[in-house]
Structure 1
Amino acid sequence: MPEHITSRQNPRVKEAVKLKQRRQRERQGRFFIDGVREIDRALNAGLGIVEAFVCESLCSAEEAQAVAKRLEKQAKEFLTVTPDVFEKLCFGERTDGVLAVAATPHHTLDDIELPERPLVAVLEGLEKPGNIGAALRSADGAGLDAVIVANPGTDLFNPNTVRASLGTVFGGNIAAATSEETIEWLRGIELPTYAARPEANHRYDGVIYNQGAALVLGSEAHGLSDVWYGAGVTAIGLPMHGIADSLNVSATAAVLFYEARRQWDAE
């Protein structure tokens, strides 16, 4: 029988709750996953589930029960909790009844495997986990081959990033690196590189992506670093017809990624 936790003061609960803080995620080498869909995708990706917390009275939906059964088989520690304990554990207002703690994966540029003429996204310096997650979701939807998160302002496995990505953050071809490492890697594989900048002279739909391309986006607060202003990087922009000079970075990402995919599909 699994251990049943009834107190919010239980040491396992206290340690798991700490993972809502970046410092603790980095210290423990673990991160928090809540939500049926996100946990299911983490399991499909083969992530190591260290602990699972299940509230049986809340776990009523068929999808939640199926994930709970998978967790019982695959998690190193499977724990049941009361609704009160689950409320303390969950991030936001989730009532699926399932939570998981996973070992943080560390994917580098060396882990990325690319086909010929790949489409690669580079997200540099993004501070808001929701923007990173939304961009990852768009990259997945558009069928990009890899995403590199360069010099992020938040860790890749912030609970809000996991949630906004709908679990697509667990894809195998997602890596973290510095901007300098990233541009050297792109040069090494001779991939044409296009950087989204408001002052660009080239429209985003006026360049060719279907021979392979890296699409680089920077933070809304600071834009792109000087690394992306050198030789071999073409600046592209979206036409703005109102008073705003740019779109939200996740909206820009979706436009660029789907234009790149449209060109591929039009071949």
Structure 2
Amino acid sequence: MVNKQISSTQNQLIKHIVLLKEKSRERKKTKTFVIEGEREIQLAINGLYTIETVLYFPEIYDTNKLSALPENINCIEVTKEVYQKIAYRATTEGIVAIVKSRPHQLDSISFTNKTPLILIAEAPEKPGNIGAILRTADAANVDAVIIANPKTDLYNPNIVRSSVGCVFTNQIATGSTTDIITFLNQNNIHIYSAILQEAEEYHTQDFTQASAIVVGTEAIGLSDAWRDASKQNIKIPMQGAIDSMNVSVAAGILIFEAKRQRNFK
């Protein structure tokens, strides 16, 4: 473990971290991203992500914990001014890490379960919604999460933060709607699309077989390709004045009905 110290906000590494936080282009070019917080960093380690560098502010972070980190990590002590420059949260834990990203290709997904349960979100735009979907997926222990036609990269700091590290605990892939439908068909996974047209109430369906539950954005919904590919379109009965709800809430309702039918296995 190598220990150094940075005291200037003009240091090139500090400027690089700021860019990683703010620019998707920089994250993609360098294939790295930033994590902040003990829990998120530990979840990334548990998920076998490669931690390149850790920066810590000793007035907040207990430096005795550094010995528990994997070997060969470049550990750098920073001053208060530098830490405030790179920290994302208002309430923070004194530690930030630079981590290697993963490609998240469809062919990287593998199933140990013969009847996998998959949660798919098409073109979600808000990082907060994506993070909430990943938290739901983790809570339900789904076999995979797939983002169709992604509008932002998975390592956006708002996604990492709002997922409370669940971006590291789920098996995640991204791809085009067409490629994902092909993947599901090749693996004999039934598609249930949350679309109001020609839909049955969600609780009337059998999700005990290999199933993919697909949700879209509140504003646009799902593309026609999902309606055509569905084994059955499904809907959540709405009893109020509006006809839709937050996508992460809808995903939670649908996924946990599937888990209930599977006796939460």
Is residue 57 of structure 1 aligned with residue 55 of structure 2?
A: no
Change (3 A) 1:72 1:11: farther
Which residue among 151, 167, 170 is the counterpart of 1:169? 167
The partner residue of 2:188 within 169, 187, 190 is 190
Change in Cα spacing, 1:74 to 1:239, as seen in structure 2 (3 Å) is: farther
Q: TM-score, normalised by structure 1?
A: 0.92
- Corresponding residue for 2:117? 119
Structure 2 match to 1:30: 32
State the secondary structure of the residue aligned to 2:135. Answer: helix
Identity %: 38
State whether structure 2 residue 176 is matched by structure 1 residue 178.
Answer: yes
2:80 to 68, 77, 83: 83
Say which is worse superposed, 224-233 or 160-169, in terms of deviation: 224-233
Residue identity matched to 1:210: T
Q: For the residues of structure 2 that align with 1:111 and 1:201, how far apart are their CA atoms?
A: 32
User: Aligned equivalents of 1:93 and 1:65: distance in 2?
Assistant: 24
1:10 alignment counterpart: 11
Rounded Cα–Cα distance in structure 2 between residues aligned with 1:164 and 1:156: 11
Corresponding residue for residue 240 of structure 1? 238
Distance in 2 of aligned mates of 1:155 and 1:10? 26
Structure 2 partner of 1:208: 206
Q: Equivalent residue for 1:139? A: 137
CA contact (8 A) 2:7 2:79 kept: yes
- Find the aligned partners of 2:217 and 2:64 in 1 and give their Cα distance: 39
Query: What amino acid does structure 2 have at the position aligned with 1:166?
Result: V
Which of the numbers 94, 119, 123 marks the counterpart of 1:97?
A: 94
Can you list the C-alpha shifts for 1:147-189, whole angstroms capped at 9, x where unaligned? 1111111111111111111211113621111111100000111
Question: Per-residue CA shift, 1:86-128, capped at 9, x if unaligned?
Answer: 1110113142011001111112121111110110111110001
Distance 1:42 1:225, change over 3 A: same
Letter in 1 for 2:213: L
Dislocated runs of 4+, deviation >4 Å: none
| Contact kept? 1:49, 1:74, Cα under 8 Å | no
User: What is the CA–CA distance in structure 2 between the aligned matches of 1:148 and 1:205, rounded to whole Å?
Assistant: 22
What secondary structure does 1:170 align onto? coil
Counterpart AA for 1:132: I
Contact 2:193 2:230 in 1 (8 A): no
Query: What is residue 45 of structure 1 aligned with on the other side?
Result: 47
Distance 1:198 1:83 in 2: 53
Q: Secondary structure at the match of 2:209?
A: coil
User: Aligned equivalents of 2:25 and 2:187: distance in 1?
Assistant: 35
Q: Which moved more, 1:171-180 or 1:51-60?
A: 171-180
Letter in 1 for 2:16: E
Residue identity in the other structure for 1:208: D
Report SS of the residue matched to 1:208: coil
Task: Name the structure 1 match of 2:20.
Answer: 19
Is the 2:181–2:229 contact (alpha carbons within 8 Å) kept by the matching residues of 1? no
1:137, distance to aligned residue in structure 2 (A): 0.9
Secondary structure, aligned partner of 1:121: strand
1:49 maps to a residue whose letter is I
Compared CA separation, residues 207 and 167, structure 1 to 2 (3 A): same
CA contact (8 A) 2:56 2:94 kept: yes
- Equivalent-residue separation in structure 1 for 2:203 and 2:225 (angstroms): 23
CA deviations on 1:48-97 (whole Å, 9 max, x unpaired) are 1122111111114xxx853x33447352x211101111111011314201
| Cα distance in 1 for residues equivalent to 2:58 and 2:86 | 15
Q: Structure 1: which amino acid aligns with 2:12?
A: P
Secondary structure of 2:244's partner?
coil
